[in-house]
Structure 1
Amino acid sequence: MKKEQYTTRIQLKGYGASQYQSRLITKKLTPIDIEKRTYIYDLSDVITSIKQYLERPKIQSQTRRKLESILKVLLERLGNVVTVPFIRGNDPQLSQVSKQLFDKIADVDRYFSELNANIATIKGKYTP
């Protein structure tokens, strides 16, 4: 299981959600795994759940801002890749170097999101 493809309630709490909000977001979701006593949820399911929750008309503005910021972080963790047409260039060597550069940037983004997930887990565990 890829580390960037799942999240826990503790991580959600570390990203800024309250314990109640993290439970509410994951309430209807089925955990994909249990590690020790922690339920692990699929990241795309959690994102969908947050989007559905944000569609409710009566949400406090502070809660909405908090959930939107959490949603932004979780979407970054997915690491969606936009394909770039490297073949269309006139210089094949430049196209190859550009492709390698974008691959390295994607790797750095992936490591950065894993680091942020670890930080959120630590914050969630030790924040009252």
Structure 2
Amino acid sequence: MKTVTRKQLKDLGASQYQAELMTKSLTPLCRQGRANVYDLFAVSDRIRILLENSRIKAATRDVLQEVRWELLALAEQIQDAPFGMSVLDQIEEADSLHQRSEDLFAQAKARADQLRGART
């Protein structure tokens, strides 16, 4: 499950007040140590609702939008664990994810080399 805590929201750029505002109306899924854990997509939806409020200042709106984009990018990077699969299927899944990450790394490296070449 894709989850987030208030501390993680603060690490993404929100203030303590903004992190509380984003999660105040949400029900925590569980506790992790002393921190409440919230559903990542519920927090994203809550931020969207907050952004619809016309009384929010521009600086706060920018921070909320940035945190929302970071959360959505984070959600794309998280892979669900293949529980319930046989060991062989888990190995094949891990191998395919590893190959995909190597391909993405090679593409990023080629793009960086291309940009370096364009500057010179």
TM bracket, shorter-chain basis = 0.5 to 0.7
- 1:14 equivalent in structure 2: 11
Unmatched segments (≥5 aa) in structure 1: 81-98, 109-128
Task: Report the AA paired with residue 45 of structure 1.
Answer: A
Structure-1-length-normalised TM-score: 0.60
* Greater relative CO, 1 or 2 (CA 8 Å, sep 6+): 1
Runs of 4+ in 1 over 4 A off after TM superposition: 99-102, 105-108
- 1:27 equivalent in structure 2: 24
Contact 1:16 1:70 survives alignment (8 Å): yes
How far off its partner does 1:104 sit? Answer: 2.5
Residues 70 and 100 of structure 1, relative CA distance in 2, 3 Å threshold: closer
Computed over aligned residues only, the root mean square deviation of the Cα atoms, in angstroms, reads 2.5
Contact 1:47 1:74 survives alignment (8 Å): yes
Aligned residue pair count: 87
| Cα deviation code 1:20-47 (max 9, x no counterpart) | 1110110010101101110000000000
- 1:67 equivalent in structure 2: 64
Structure-2-length-normalised TM-score: 0.64
Residues 69 and 37 of structure 1, relative CA distance in 2, 3 Å threshold: same
